[in-house]
Chains A and B, each alone.
Chain A
Amino acid sequence: DIQMTQSPSSLSASVGDRVTITCQASQDITNYLNWYQQKPGKAPKLLIYDASSLETGVPSRFSGSGSGTDFTFTISSLQPEDIATYYCQQFDNLPYTFGQGTRLEI
Chain B
Amino acid sequence: EVQLVESGGGLVQPGRSRRLSCAASGFVFPDYAMHWVRQAPGKGLEWVSGISWNSGRIDYADSVMGRFTVSRDNAKNSLYLQMNSLRPEDTALYYCAKDFGMVRGVILGQFEFWGQGTLVTVSS
Contacts and interface: CB of A to CB of B under 8 A. Distances in A.
Chain B associates with chain A: yes
Interface of A: 34, 36, 38, 42-46, 49, 55, 87, 89, 91, 94-101
Interface string B81-114: 0000000000000010000100000001111111
Contact of B110 (A49, A95, A101): A49
Interface of B: 37, 44-47, 50, 59, 61-62, 95, 100, 108-117
Contacts of A96: 47, 50, 109
Contacts of A43: 95, 114-117
A95 B111 contact: no
B45 A89 contact: yes
A95 B62 contact: yes
Contacts of B109: 91, 94, 96
A97 B59 CA distance: 13
A34 B37 CA distance: 15
A6 to B, nearest CB: 9
Contacts of A44: 37, 45, 95, 111, 114
